[in-house]
Structure 1
Amino acid sequence: MEKKSKEIVLWHEFDGPGDTSIEVLERICKLYTERFGVQITPQVMNITELTARLNQIKDTHQGPHLAMVPADMSSYVENGLYSEVPGWLFDDALTEGALSTMQLDSVQYGIPVLRGNHLVMYYNPEIYASAPTTWDVFEEAAERLSAQGIIPIGADLQQGYWFIPFLTAFGGWPVQHGKPNIVTPEMKRALEFIHDKMDQGVLVSLDGSTGLLEQFIDGKIGAIICGEWIYNHLDKQMNNRLAVCQLPVIEGQQSLSMSSSIGLIYPNHSLTSEEREDILSFTHFMLTDECQTMWTLGVQRIPAQEEVLNRLATSAAPNKKMILSLLDHARPMPTYPFMIHVWEALNAGLTELPLSSPEQALKKIEQTIQASWGAYKS
């Protein structure tokens, strides 16, 4: 009787036509399956569904063996029933700095595979002759571009992560003294700013994985704030019509993105299951020189493995070198367990903003964080 092969299920959120990372992930899973005889089955879903499903595991006890997620989702440890992972098993491939991005209270709950995950400014040099590194450039170009049917700048301002550069430009940060810090004068000023600029037609908010990219590629938007993860797609579509620069200075203050890693977490106590050794073996495989190089050459992502990263930094094209250098100008994403409530509140406020006023959006943020953070504390 033929022995049934093992299956390891991996959830991830490399969805949308622009996220070419799915190509490499699926190739790595196939390669591992062929070499080791263990079926690795990737299952894709959008970030909202992935977040919801991970946070339901405590109730359903239904989950994958692995999930590849942004580092801050390692904080869903209680709801996702994450296994602690022995970080020392991977310190030959990863620095302590890289490992720390997926630690919670110094406990390792994830293993980084990619770095970066930061926002940068992409611009069309046929529309902006030089890098639009200050907001004044967009204001000054607005009348000229509007006459051509072009919007000066776009971002996905229904998502809290895209809002962070505006918040930091006004001196805000969503955490202070280990607690949420989002009902502040800085938050109000940032909301007022984007509300005004959208009203004036200087700034447009579009879905970050579809409409924003499509209109930028079509030349209907001059510049966009978007993630380093989308670079490969834009590079293929635009070639010489694509350039990269630092996020803009707003009213004299530099915008700052968050940065993090993307890595593997182990939901539903998967490292206590009989598949433990296969799961850890696959994790090691993801960090090999071979696989890490596949990410850099195949889809132009930033590897977590130090040696491969150093090779990339010396051989990259100018746009990619700029993206790598901008990682030094980003702030590490907070990984506190309460961050899920912070993102929920920010998203609620940003959804409210186009429908009403900055004051109402701030009120929505306050109501949402009080309800969810209050329930969490109790």
Structure 2
Amino acid sequence: MLARLLQAVILLFGVGLSCPSQATLTLAYSLKNSEFASFLTESAATQGLAIDAQWVDQKLLKVRLIQSAESGARADAILVPADHLGMDEFVNFSEIPQSMLSPEQSPLFAASGRMQGRQLGIPIVAGNHLVLYYNKGLIIEPATSWQQLIQYYQQHGKAPIGWSFMEMFWFVPFVTAFGEPPLVTDQPNLNTKAMHQALEYVWSLAEQGVVDPKCDYSCSEQRFMSAKLPYTINGIWAYDNYRHGLGDQLGVAALPRLAGNTMKPYSTAFVLAFPEQSLHGEKRAQLEQLAALLQHPGVQTQLWQRYVGIPVHKQVQKNILAHADADSQVFFETLAQSEPMPNSPNMMILWEVMLKGYTRFGAKAMNAQQAGEFMQHLAERSIAPRKE
């Protein structure tokens, strides 16, 4: 994995190696799906389009995008969560003409590609929201509340669940369950009762032993796959990997209710975007061809069947729902209960600010009130220069 990551970073950000020929498009993507690159490359080849698609770790991508913009080395296109469009001032994305957007694009996800009134991305797959995975070999019926998970720990003396504990994408559903999202009308909304309650609740789960706060994404995935955890929280992108590992023992459910409230994970689309005005360069025709390929109903269907994400094509969605199995129904039902992630440049700031306050609270350097005030102050101070 490390070798592949280094290869991807070298390809995307030009670290002294020769670049692919001009006839080849370079695409960087952060989808965690083992089949995506080969599927896309093969599909493109049937259309006479050469693509070198490389995965880049989500944790590194934002930093690398900024570094690549500064150095002049970049990919021709990227496929990333829509909130990355908020980096436009650093990455200088091409504005996309209406002619490149499929008329069959679902209106539910159309806004995902727009940033402050400008079309900077083309939605390709949607969802990207969190669900509860469980091992049917370890439990009969999935927990529907966090109280049940707490009771499991009390009965068995070991953690029943894991997730990427220090990533704020996993923390947001706890905040929204208490009623107030962290960004409202493009402004930080962090020093709230909901934030205070979420901080106290999540870290109390760690203190009780219900979840191991030191177990990150890879750790929780490994423990779940090896049947050491009956539950994990992850997105649709993880389904294919879990299905191959657990087979018929894999179950999918909505996130547990918290204090009687529905948890609302953020949902968004993965969008195709063109850094450093690449759409206006010599590869424009090929990039238009790539956009058309990824929006084609046949490819959209394959992206669903390979568990890459929920298609944004309206007719493909209808076809899926007409023959949906139980797991597919859960993915669509939980999508309807999700909170659309704000498509705002300020989200990039909020992720970092929340992590700082979250970490300080977990280390007992601040209480919940102080952490909320700290987050809000830091966010406002960081956002203010952008308004000038």
1:135 aligns with 2:146: yes
Moved more, 328-337 or 97-106: 97-106
Q: 1:262 aligns with which of 270, 288, 291?
A: 270
Give a deviation string over 1:336-363, Cα, whole Å, max 9, x none: 1111000111222334444335526546
Moved more, 107-116 or 361-370: 361-370
Rounded to whole Å, the distance in 2 between the matches of 1:207 and 1:338 is 28
Rounded to whole Å, the distance in 2 between the matches of 1:328 and 1:254 is 12
Provide closer, same or farther for how the CA distance between residues 61 and 5 of structure 1 changes in structure 2, counting only shifts above 3 A. closer
Rounded to whole Å, the distance in 2 between the matches of 1:81 and 1:300 is 27
Q: Secondary structure at the match of 1:226?
A: strand
* 2:348 match: 340
Q: Offset of 1:334 from its aligned partner?
A: 0.3
Q: Offset of 1:206 from its aligned partner?
A: 5.5
* 2:315 match: 307
Q: Percent identity?
A: 25
Q: Secondary structure at the match of 1:293?
A: helix
Structure 2, unmatched stretches of 5+, are 1-20
Q: Offset of 1:367 from its aligned partner?
A: 5.8
Rounded to whole Å, the distance in 2 between the matches of 1:22 and 1:84 is 30
* 2:23 match: 6
Provide closer, same or farther for how the CA distance between residues 280 and 138 of structure 1 changes in structure 2, counting only shifts above 3 A. same
* 1:81 match: 92
Contact kept? 2:177, 2:264, Cα under 8 Å: yes
* 1:356 match: 364
Provide closer, same or farther for how the CA distance between residues 168 and 357 of structure 1 changes in structure 2, counting only shifts above 3 A. farther
Q: 2:37 aligns with which of 25, 32, 35?
A: 25
Please, what is the CA RMSD of the aligned residues?
A: 2.2
Provide closer, same or farther for how the CA distance between residues 273 and 263 of structure 1 changes in structure 2, counting only shifts above 3 A. same
* 1:330 match: 338
Rounded to whole Å, the distance in 2 between the matches of 1:94 and 1:277 is 21
Rounded to whole Å, the distance in 2 between the matches of 1:25 and 1:106 is 31
* 2:74 match: 63
Q: Offset of 1:208 from its aligned partner?
A: 5.4
The aligned amino acid for 1:7 is T
Q: Secondary structure at the match of 2:161?
A: strand
Rounded to whole Å, the distance in 2 between the matches of 1:299 and 1:185 is 37
Rounded to whole Å, the distance in 2 between the matches of 1:90 and 1:162 is 31
Task: State how 1:143-158 maps to structure 2 within 5 Å.
Answer: 143-146=154-157, 150-158=158-166
Q: 1:277 aligns with which of 281, 285, 291?
A: 285
Task: State how 1:96-175 maps to structure 2 within 5 Å.
Answer: 96-146=107-157, 150-175=158-183
Q: Offset of 1:265 from its aligned partner?
A: 0.6
Task: State how 1:230-249 maps to structure 2 within 5 Å.
Answer: 230-249=238-257
* 1:190 match: 198
Q: Offset of 1:370 from its aligned partner?
A: 4.4
Rounded to whole Å, the distance in 2 between the matches of 1:93 and 1:176 is 30
Q: 2:210 aligns with which of 202, 207, 212?
A: 202
Contact kept? 2:236, 2:308, Cα under 8 Å: no
Q: 2:327 aligns with which of 319, 344, 348?
A: 319
Contact kept? 2:177, 2:262, Cα under 8 Å: yes
Q: Offset of 1:116 from its aligned partner?
A: 0.6
Rounded to whole Å, the distance in 2 between the matches of 1:44 and 1:24 is 9
* 2:60 match: 49
Q: Secondary structure at the match of 2:126?
A: strand
Rounded to whole Å, the distance in 2 between the matches of 1:229 and 1:200 is 29
Contact kept? 1:11, 1:67, Cα under 8 Å: yes
Give a deviation string over 1:207-262, Cα, whole Å, max 9, x none: 55411111112222222221121111111211232212111111122111111111
* 1:211 match: 219
Rounded to whole Å, the distance in 1 between the matches of 2:279 and 2:116 is 20
Contact kept? 1:352, 1:364, Cα under 8 Å: no
Q: TM-score under structure 1 normalisation?
A: 0.89
Give a deviation string over 1:65-119, Cα, whole Å, max 9, x none: 1000011112222211001101343233313332221111332110111111011
The aligned amino acid for 1:261 is A
Q: 1:376 aligns with which of 356, 371, 386?
A: 386
Contact kept? 1:123, 1:131, Cα under 8 Å: yes
Contact kept? 1:83, 1:270, Cα under 8 Å: yes
Give a deviation string over 1:29-80, Cα, whole Å, max 9, x none: 24314531x4311122111221112234553333211000011112222211
Rounded to whole Å, the distance in 2 between the matches of 1:218 and 1:177 is 43
